[in-house]
Amino acid sequence: YAFKLGDAINNGEVDLGIAICGTGIGMSIALNKMKGIYCAKVSNPSEATLCKAHNNANCIAISEEMNDEILEEVLNNFISTPFSNVNKYVNRNNKIKERENG
């Protein structure tokens, strides 16, 4: 399912991805093996905000055990937060993409 989600993001079928599994770790590892996918394993609303604002993540992975109230805030933060476009984050993300592209 991780690869199906990653393919959907890369093919433009969806803009963002939300992967849920027991811990979220396995899905995150699998998704991050795919070129063009930047998945953060998120455990709280702050991480959901920062992974978009600083890293421009296009996917999050979360544990199936996350509390429903926290889950709602995590999802809202991830979906609604834009990339900050601050120079240091743009440069960092470009370095990651350069490495990804060899």
Which residues does the annotation mark as catalytic? 21, 54
With H, G, I as helix, E, B as strand and everything else as coil, classify residue 78. helix
Residues 6+ apart with CB under 8 A from 16: 9, 58, 59, 78, 79
- Is residue 34 within 8 A of residue 3, CB to CB? The reply is yes
Terminal-residue alpha carbon distance, the chain: 26
Exposed, middle or buried: residue 13 (CB in 10 Å: 0-12, 13-18, 19+)?
exposed
